A and B are shown apart, each in its own frame.
Chain A
Amino acid sequence: MNLFDIIGPVMIGPSSSHTAGAARLGKLARNIFGEEFYKADITLYNSFSKTAKGHGTDKAIVAGILGMEADDENLKNAFELIKKSSIEVNFDFQDSNRELHPNTAMIKLYEKEKSMSITGCSLGGGRVMIQDIDGFKTEFTGEFNTIISIQRDKPGIVAYVASYLAQENINIAQMKLSRKSKGDTALMIIETDEIPPKSLKTDLEKHEGIYKIVLSTI
């Protein structure tokens, strides 16, 4: 913990969890999707759903998917701004779901041929956790540079990615793998201290076992 965790973050009110954290979730979803999208379906759960309007949680998420940071004064105009864009937004305000964190949002983004569903929760103080990407359980905060790899669950891929990063002199801070079933598709999250090169995506996607690489940098 540093002093700026106590005095800070700079944010748009009223709530670090329900506004700043919500904007952050939207921004991370945009980064993780990594492409233009024409539609966003946003589902809010529990406290996020119940107090969305008063906290501007819905506006904050829209601001985030538009690429705004949590301290952007345009955040309160997010609805007007997205109306001007060609992006369609639908909200679903869900009732209580005890299995989910009190401040949970599911953001589904669509481009022409595919979509991606990203679920995360807001932990307080503007910090968030991404918990699920397209049904893969995961846990990362976006506070590090994050590489997301959707890949085949087979031997050698982790080593391939790790050796690529070693060559580029990039240190792995955290790493997590999850899969739906053995030999099926797997999701790998790697958090790094240094910013990986832009060519990372094309370089790694050359491997036949890697379907998609997404890079979210801080």
Chain B
Amino acid sequence: MSLYTMKQIIEAAEEKGVKISTVAMEMESKESGLSIDEIKKRMTRYYDIMKNAVSHGINQVIPSVSGLTGGEGFRLWQEKDKGLSGETILKASSRAMAVSNVNASMGRVVAAPTAGSCGIIPGVLMTIGERLGKSEEEIVDALITTAVVGKVIAQNATVAGSEGGCQAECGAASAMAAAAAVELSGGTPSQAGHAAAIAIKGVMGLICDPVAGLVEVPCIKRNSFGAAQAILAADMAMSGIESIIPVDEVIKAMGDVGHAMPEELKETAMGGIAASETAKKLEKKLLKKDKIHESTFKENLE
């Protein structure tokens, strides 16, 4: 049986007294024909790729292809012991940016749920798993929980920036990570649902305004906020704070807000900071650089 809402998934998990990831794997196995073992193996491989991207990005400054960004994850990582935000938030946030840096440099990442938001889930899972001393198997289970929360969001709203703005990409990733962080903390499926709802509400209405159309500014820093917010949302849910509006209604509202957003604010680079004076100057400069690049490329081929 396919479950389409968080309510259905949470109820199924609580009836059986299992984690959301257990319900998700059973459902996936029935729908795709893959065995539970195959699903776990593939997710483990994906988690390995995520960890590689993290370590690549926090240990060095990796410039992006455009040259606009680079080293954000590396820099914040140096602050992890002394920064005001505290070690857990700083580790998760710098790891999230590290993966985003790798993405912007044409490195290998796992879209989660998109490439633009690919840092949030690795940043949160790795950091919370480490903090709580969780086994890799438990972290991979949590990754499966992120996937099913993302599936519900994709089916009932959207996870594409071009359809719903950044709230649909980094917002969804943050909600997915928040639910997984609750699961790792030993919270109930229902608390995981509240954490997801709280995370989405925190970024409701966030637009997608990439400078020069590139997945760099402000995307890399928004990955960092998405990770920090996921942890705070998980803490709120663990403390017993509930989302007054049920998670499925919050997801639907996010989708509706996305559809109501003007096109200028949905990945077209025509609004928000992408339309700022400096962004336009940068865009022009990058285009000029491209022309030079193009002729060099042709000369190289001859």
Contacts and interface: CB of A to CB of B under 8 A. Distances in A.
Interface of A: 1-16, 19-20, 47, 50-56, 58-59, 71, 73, 75-76, 79, 82-83, 88-91, 93, 124-126
Contacts of A1: 151, 154-155
Interface string B187-216: 000000000000000000000000011111
B3 to A, nearest CB: 12
A9 B213 CA distance: 21
Nearest to B25: A3
B286 A13 contact: no
A50 B268 CA distance: 11
Contacts, number: 147
Contact of A125 (B49, B104, B108, B111): B111
A215 B290 CA distance: 36
Interface residues of B, number: 58
A7 B212 contact: no
A125 B114 contact: yes
B297 A14 contact: no
Interface string B109-134: 11111111010010000000000000
Contacts of A6: 112-113, 146-148, 150-151, 154, 159, 176
A47 B274 CA distance: 15
25 contacts: A1-B155, A3-B151, A5-B151, A6-B112, A6-B113, A6-B176, A7-B110, A8-B112, A11-B111, A11-B115, A13-B108, A13-B109, A13-B118, A14-B115, A20-B111, A50-B287, A52-B290, A54-B214, A54-B290, A55-B214, A59-B106, A82-B301, A90-B298, A91-B294, A125-B160
A49 B66 CA distance: 15
A103 B160 CA distance: 15
B39 interface: yes
A12 B28 contact: no
Contact of A7 (B107, B146, B287, B298): B146
A15 B116 contact: yes
B284 interface: no
B20 to A, nearest CB: 12
B32 interface: yes
A23 to B, nearest CB: 11
Given A3-B151, A6-B154, A53-B66, A14 B103 contact: yes
Given A56-B65, A88-B301, A3 B111 contact: no
B160 A124 contact: yes
A89 B214 contact: no
B300 interface: yes
B105 interface: yes
A56 B176 CA distance: 29
A89 B235 CA distance: 54
Interface in B89-109: 102-109
Contact of B32 (A2, A50, A53, A91): A2
Contacts of A82: 301
B289 interface: yes
A58 B108 CA distance: 17
A6 B301 CA distance: 39
Contact of B215 (A15, A47, A91, A93): A15
B166 interface: no
B31 A13 contact: no
Scoring A15, A19, A59, A90 by chain B CB atoms within 10 A of each residue's CB, the highest score goes to A15
Nearest to B67: A54
B143 interface: yes
Contact of A13 (B42, B105, B113, B150): B105
A190 to B, nearest CB: 23
Contacts of A5: 151, 154
B43 interface: yes
A12 B147 contact: no
Contact of B106 (A14, A50, A91): A14
Given A13-B106, A51-B213, A90-B298, 9 more contacts: A11-B115, A12-B106, A47-B213, A53-B65, A53-B66, A53-B290, A54-B213, A83-B301, A89-B301
Contact of A76 (B24, B106, B301): B106
Contacts of B146: 6-7
A53 B285 CA distance: 12
Nearest to B115: A16
